[in-house]
Amino acid sequence: MKQFFRFLATVLCAFLISLVPFYGVCSYVWLGLPAYYREGYHKGLVKQYRALKRSDETQPKIVAIGDSSMAYGVDSAQLSSLTGMPCYTLGMHGGMGMAYIFELLEPFIHEGDLIVYPCNPYGAIYYGVDLILMSIEKEPDLYFDFVLRHPFLALSRLKDRCFVKCKGLAMNTPYETTDEFYGKDSFDENGNFTVERGDGYWDYFEECEHIEYSPKIYGDTMILHLNAFDSLCKERGATLLLTSPAMYRGVVDNDEASIEAFEGWVRDTFTAPLISDWDEHFYEKEYFFNYVAHCNSAGMKRYTDSLAEDINSYMEEK
Amino acid sequence: MAFTTLPFLVFFAILFVLYYLPTWIPFLKGKGVQKWLILIANLVFYAWASPYFLIFLGASSLLVYGASLLFGRIDKKTELACASLERAEKKLAKEKAGKKKKGILILALLLVLLLLIVPKYASFFLENLNAILGAFGVETDFKVSLILPLGLSFYTFQNIGYLVNVYWGKYPPQKNYFLYLTYISYFPHVLQGPLDEYEELFPALCEEHEFCREKAEKGLLRVLWGLFKKWAVATQIGLLISPYLSGETEALGLTVVLCAVGYAVQMYADFSGYMDIAIGCSNMLGIPLAENFDAPYFSTGVAEYWRRWHITLGAWFRSYVYYPLMRSKGLSALRKCLKKHKYLASVLPTSLALALVWLCIGFWHGADWAYVLHGVYHGLFVISASVLEPLYSAYHKKFPKLTASVPYRIFCIVRTFAIVCFGYLLFATGDISLSFTLIGNLFAEGGAAQISALFVGNEYVFFSAGLGIVLMLVVDVVYELTKKKEKKGFKSWQIYLLWILLGIAILLFGAYSEADASQFLYFQF
């Protein structure tokens, strides 16, 4: 029996010893070496998180969460002046997955808070590990929080990202953001996407895939997680509000009746209230920038105005 | 439950602790608790994917168990009857019993094979029937969609092996069905083999095993090596070549070569990795399993390759198809007819038997003409080696120095590897038309550009897979060069060091979430 338990102890020790150099090397590359993704838009998420961290937890606030359509569409300063509540945004890219956004937001949900979520069908509930890691490079608190919570997820991608980073640093090839407008400096200190955006890339627009809003585009996982998140908000005395994302009208294939039916389905399926008419945020081309759900500056202003109106009327009704 | 999943890790950890528990508790010691624990573990393991699969496993094993019992009863009855009979009557009684047994054997084999054929080949047969009828102008759309139980081909073959051996009187039938089920459903081999012989595995399964630290340490080392092969080599290569093999992206020129070589390495790493995990786990429980690989890519000919690749499948076909065919009345008669032509009398029956064996091996791998063609392709090489044997012998005699030299051996190894790789182009897609498209694109232009485009963004995958391949190659070369020498085992500290190094290598170079790393390629067969 002694031999058996000695064997088990040796296995456990060997396992732990294997983990130490792996996570040690990866953590050193990710936190100790010079930043590689410092210019990327991913850093906007960290700015948003830090702004939330600075927020006064005794004062009720509005937090708009979501993916890039929210980042392009909600101006927290404008929303704040229109609603009279401090406003924050949290969300940068659909590829990061909403699961991570919920997780980041969780410690900051307090009594009286309003969490507004433009419930985009692209905003699937998962962890986009690559983009998350790129955001939290050289951010020890966020890095350790993620790695300790999700060691297996981190395990799956960390080494690959470290390899790319080391290669990039060694060969002196800087990380190129995908969009000149969507970089670290496009965001103010609160993570607000303040850079001036004019007309969009219309050629690209016309090639975009069309969308038809129907229950099937929201999977069961989305319904389950969103309702669970709503329960968490309620437990903390906060309110989750659903709204529709801004969308270029030209790509929506629904007619009026099917949109109404879809809206009914959203109200029946999700436990959080829907505060907008679903087609309220279908805009023309001139309000978009480089994607069918990415507002330009005029679109952002219009969307934020409309959102503030919806929030205010919800609050009045309440 | 695949070996590379978290549920398996938990399952095996629990089993490992429970398995040795009875050896420390005095009133449980020597009571044979371990084999029942194994049976429970087997059933949980097998039913994990779907409890429905147990119906097939149960039906197939019950059928064979019943038939083997009947053989035993007939033998016993005949023996008793013969005791009081005259010599001529004895012969008659034995002949009668023999016919009865043969009838039962044929019926049982047909039923067991039916259990294999219906879920595995029904759809394939109907598709071909539709095509044949369509060619005669009769439009039909016969369709059937059945779930193929995991490991069905493997345990069907083990069942057949056992049944035939009991029929031949090699060993008596097992009287306890649950013990027989323990052998058939033994979790390390039920899904992908190795096809262990009953007389070798069963005694080890029934024996009580005290914990042996040395076996456990070596077993775990083998498991880690298998995981490394699977995650750092097979899965990483799969990430690179699967879009081409599935037809998602068209492969051109050099990319086709990359796919063929990549698939050969992926298949070896995947299948032998699975075997390493299976054998390692079993060794940790004190139960040895048959080896299934013997550095096959160092073979100098196709026939040798098949003696070193999936060894137990080759041995199964030799024992239960090839030799019985060679002893069959038809081929014996043919041999007699050709008595005057010594060469033909030896070569023709052998070639016919080999042709049938290779057709069966092709079909066994899957219900598509691509697999059949792959079997025929390898069969042609094996048959031609047998037909040209006198020529080869003469050549070896004439140039003994050349044929014994290292460069010549290397040439033979490379030639065999090239033959195997080309064969994989027929096999890897699982779709004959896609295979022909790949082969047709072999000399198309644009391959180099395709590979350099593939490299961009996949540097880490190339790096990990490359490193893994080098490591595998080094291990196999060392094995090949030292396998005939007496080896000193690793010392404990060396094993611990290897555990840690392999652990780090798996963490650093393995691919976990990008592809479905829990699926092994041979599951589909």
What element of type H or E holds B288?
none
**Domain contains B175:** yes
Residues 7-26 of chain B whose Cβ lies under 8 A from any Cβ of chain A: 20, 24
The three-class DSSP label of residue A40 is strand
Q: Do A6 and B220 touch (CB under 8 A)?
A: no
Task: Name the pLDDT band for B352 (thresholds 50, 70, 90).
Answer: very high
CA of A303 vs chain B CAs: smallest distance (Å): 37
- In terms of Cβ atoms closer than 10 Å to its own Cβ (0-12, 13-18, 19+), residue B224 is buried
* Buried b or exposed e, range A231-241, using 16+ CB within 10 angstroms: ebbeebebbbb
d(CA B499, CA A77): 56
Q: Do B463 and A163 touch (CB under 8 A)?
A: yes
Interface check for B399 against chain A (CB to CB < 8 A): the answer is no
Interface check for A5 against chain B (CB to CB < 8 A): the answer is no
Integer angstrom CA distances of residue A196 from A20, A28, A74, A200, A289: 46, 37, 14, 12, 11
d(CA B200, CA A215): 58
* Buried b or exposed e, range B284-318, using 16+ CB within 10 angstroms: bbbbebbebbbbbbbbbbbbbbbbbbbbbbbbbbe
In this prediction, residues B213-238 reach a mean pLDDT of 92
- Looking at residue B514, its pLDDT comes to 46
What element of type H or E holds A282?
strand A282-283
Q: Do B509 and A159 touch (CB under 8 A)?
A: yes
Residues 150-179 of chain A whose Cβ lies under 8 A from any Cβ of chain B: 152-153, 155-157, 159-160, 163-164, 167
């897609």: which residue's tokens? B429
Chain B residue with minimum CA distance to A161: B460
**Are residues B162 and B249 both part of a single domain?**
no
Res. A104: pLDDT tops 60: yes
**Are residues B41 and B179 both part of a single domain?**
yes
- Looking at residue B138, its pLDDT comes to 83
In this prediction, residues B29-55 reach a mean pLDDT of 90
A17, A18, A22, A147, best to mutate vs chain B, most B CBs in 10 Å:
A18
> Within chain B, how many helices (H) and strands (E) appear?
24, 0
A19 chain-B contacts, CB cut-off 8 A? 503, 507
- Looking at residue B515, its pLDDT comes to 46
Strand-pairing partners, residue A284, are none
Q: Minimum mean pLDDT among A208-222, A235-249, B278-292: which range?
A: A208-222
The three-class DSSP label of residue B279 is helix
A157 chain-B contacts, CB cut-off 8 A? 513
Indicate the angle between helix axes B213-228 and A2-27, nearest 10 degrees. 30
d(CA B406, CA B161): 40
Res. B117: pLDDT tops 60: yes
**At a CB cut-off of 8 Å and minimum separation 6, what does A192 contact?**
A75, A76, A77, A89
B253 within 8 A of B443, measured Cβ to Cβ: yes
Strand-pair category, A62-65 with A114-118:
parallel
d(CA B444, CA A57): 66
Share of chain A above pLDDT 90, in %: 49
* Buried b or exposed e, range B89-103, using 16+ CB within 10 angstroms: eeeebbeebeeebee
Torsion of CA A150, A152, A155, A158, to 10 degrees: -30
**Domain contains B486:** yes
Res. B520: pLDDT tops 80: no
Question: Looking at this predicted complex, what is its ipTM?
Answer: 0.77
Domain end marker among B211, B240, B256: B211
Q: Do A14 and B499 touch (CB under 8 A)?
A: yes
- Looking at residue B523, its pLDDT comes to 57
Chain A residue with minimum CA distance to B236: A160
Q: Do A14 and B500 touch (CB under 8 A)?
A: yes
A130, A153, A160, best to mutate vs chain B, most B CBs in 10 Å:
A160
A6, A10, A13, best to mutate vs chain B, most B CBs in 10 Å:
A10
Token duo for residue B354? 């080999």
**Are residues B188 and B258 both part of a single domain?**
no
B211, B283, B495, best to mutate vs chain A, most A CBs in 10 Å:
B211
Share of chain B above pLDDT 90, in %: 50
Domain A33-317, CATH among 3.20.20.70, 3.90.79.10, 3.10.310.30, 3.40.50.1110: 3.40.50.1110
* Buried b or exposed e, range A21-31, using 16+ CB within 10 angstroms: ebbebbbebbe
Interface check for B217 against chain A (CB to CB < 8 A): the answer is yes
Strand-pair category, A282-283 with A247-248:
parallel
Strand-pair category, A294-295 with A288-291:
antiparallel
């060469």: which residue's tokens? B343
Strand-pairing partners, residue A118, are A243
What element of type H or E holds A241?
strand A239-243
- Looking at residue B376, its pLDDT comes to 92
Token duo for residue B458? 């996949």
What's the mean pLDDT when you consider all of chain A?
88
- Closest alpha carbon to B381 in B301, B492, B318: B301
Read off the pLDDT of residues B302-330 as tens digits, 9 standing for 90 and up: 999 999 999 999 999 999 999 999 989 88
Closest CB from B220, B460, B508 relative to A11 = B220
**Domain contains B125:** yes
Res. A165: pLDDT tops 80: yes
- In terms of Cβ atoms closer than 10 Å to its own Cβ (0-12, 13-18, 19+), residue A150 is middle
Length of chain B, in residues: 525
CA of B216 vs chain A CAs: smallest distance (Å): 8
**Are residues B48 and B164 both part of a single domain?**
yes
Integer angstrom CA distances of residue B6 from A23, B235, B452: 20, 17, 36
A274 within 8 A of A266, measured Cβ to Cβ: yes
In this prediction, residues B54-62 reach a mean pLDDT of 92
Strand-pairing partners, residue A239, are A114
**Domain contains B92:** yes
**Are residues B245 and B192 both part of a single domain?**
no
Length of chain A, in residues: 318
- DSSP string of B104-123? HHHHHHHHHHHHHHHHHHHH
B514 chain-A contacts, CB cut-off 8 A? 156
In this prediction, residues A39-43 reach a mean pLDDT of 82
d(CA B439, CA B449): 19
Q: Minimum mean pLDDT among A150-159, A229-238, B388-397: which range?
A: A150-159
Chain A residue with minimum CA distance to B232: A156
**Are residues B116 and B178 both part of a single domain?**
yes
**Are residues B180 and B246 both part of a single domain?**
no
SS (H, E, C) A72-131: HHCCHHHHHHHHCCCEEEECCCHHHCHHHHHHHHHHHCCCCCEEEEECCCCCCCCCCHHH
d(CA A294, CA A195): 13
B288 within 8 A of B20, measured Cβ to Cβ: no
Q: Do A164 and B459 touch (CB under 8 A)?
A: yes
- Closest alpha carbon to A280 in A250, A307, A240, A317: A307
Q: Do A18 and B509 touch (CB under 8 A)?
A: no
Domain end marker among B180, B211, B242: B211
B194 within 8 A of B472, measured Cβ to Cβ: no
Q: Do A18 and B504 touch (CB under 8 A)?
A: yes
**Are residues B268 and B146 both part of a single domain?**
no
Strands ordered across the beta sheet of A62-65: A87-90, A62-65, A114-118, A239-243
Instruction: Give all strands (DSSP E) within A127-211, no chain letters.
Output: none
- In terms of Cβ atoms closer than 10 Å to its own Cβ (0-12, 13-18, 19+), residue B501 is middle
B499 chain-A contacts, CB cut-off 8 A? 11, 14, 18
In this prediction, residues B167-175 reach a mean pLDDT of 91
In this prediction, residues B177-187 reach a mean pLDDT of 94
Read off the pLDDT of residues B392-424 as tens digits, 9 standing for 90 and up: 889 989 988 888 899 999 999 999 999 999 999
Q: Minimum mean pLDDT among A48-62, B17-31, B37-51, B207-221: which range?
A: B17-31
Token duo for residue A261? 């039916």
Task: Name the pLDDT band for A264 (thresholds 50, 70, 90).
Answer: very high
B217 chain-A contacts, CB cut-off 8 A? 7
Domain end marker among B191, B211, B231: B211
- Looking at residue B262, its pLDDT comes to 94
Token duo for residue B484? 């005939």
Read off the pLDDT of residues A20-33 as tens digits, 9 standing for 90 and up: 888 898 999 999 99
**Domain contains B471:** yes
Task: Name the pLDDT band for A153 (thresholds 50, 70, 90).
Answer: confident
Cis peptide before A245 (omega within 30 of 0): no
**Are residues B141 and B116 both part of a single domain?**
yes
d(CA A239, CA A271): 11
In this prediction, residues A206-224 reach a mean pLDDT of 82
In chain A, where the domains are located: 33-317
Number of domains in chain B: 2
**Are residues B279 and B184 both part of a single domain?**
no
B112 within 8 A of B156, measured Cβ to Cβ: yes
CA of A166 vs chain B CAs: smallest distance (Å): 11
**Are residues B119 and B225 both part of a single domain?**
no
Instruction: Give all strands (DSSP E) within B435-525, no chain letters.
Output: none
- Looking at residue A201, its pLDDT comes to 61
In this prediction, residues B234-261 reach a mean pLDDT of 89
B216 chain-A contacts, CB cut-off 8 A? 7
Interface A:B, Cβ pairs < 8 A? 54
- Domain span holding position B481: 213-289+445-525
Residue type for position B241: I
Closest CB from B500, B511, B512 relative to A18 = B500
**Are residues B150 and B221 both part of a single domain?**
no
Indicate the angle between helix axes B152-168 and B177-184, nearest 10 degrees. 130
Integer angstrom CA distances of residue A81 from A62, A308, B99: 12, 9, 97
In this prediction, residues A7-14 reach a mean pLDDT of 91
* Buried b or exposed e, range A36-59, using 16+ CB within 10 angstroms: bbeebbbbbbbbbbebbeebeeee
In this prediction, residues A231-252 reach a mean pLDDT of 93
- Closest alpha carbon to A201 in A283, A291, A284, A71: A291
Closest CB from B216, B459, B499 relative to A163 = B459
Q: Do A14 and B24 touch (CB under 8 A)?
A: no
In this prediction, residues B10-18 reach a mean pLDDT of 93
Closest CB from A15, A17, A167 relative to B459 = A167
- Looking at residue B359, its pLDDT comes to 92
- DSSP label at residue A181: S
Q: Do A164 and B507 touch (CB under 8 A)?
A: no
Interface check for B500 against chain A (CB to CB < 8 A): the answer is yes
The three-class DSSP label of residue B146 is coil
Res. A227: pLDDT tops 70: yes
Read off the pLDDT of residues B149-169 as tens digits, 9 standing for 90 and up: 888 899 999 999 999 999 998
The three-class DSSP label of residue A277 is coil
Q: Do A17 and B217 touch (CB under 8 A)?
A: no
């890095």: which residue's tokens? A143
Token duo for residue B432? 């004959």
- DSSP string of B302-354? HHHHHHHSSHHHHHHHIIIIIHHHHHSHHHHHHHHHTTTSHHHHHHHHHHHHH
Could you tell me how far CA B414 lies from the centroid of its own chain?
24
In this prediction, residues B232-247 reach a mean pLDDT of 89
d(CA A263, CA A244): 10
CA of A143 vs chain B CAs: smallest distance (Å): 18
Read off the pLDDT of residues B364-399 as tens digits, 9 standing for 90 and up: 888 888 888 999 999 999 999 999 988 988 998 998
Phi then psi dihedrals of residue B299, to 5 deg: -70, 150
**Domain contains B274:** yes
* Buried b or exposed e, range A186-209, using 16+ CB within 10 angstroms: bbbebbbbbeebeebeeeebeeee
Residues 111-130 of chain A whose Cβ lies under 8 A from any Cβ of chain B: 129
Read off the pLDDT of residues B122-133 as tens digits, 9 standing for 90 and up: 888 888 888 888
Q: Do B500 and A17 touch (CB under 8 A)?
A: yes
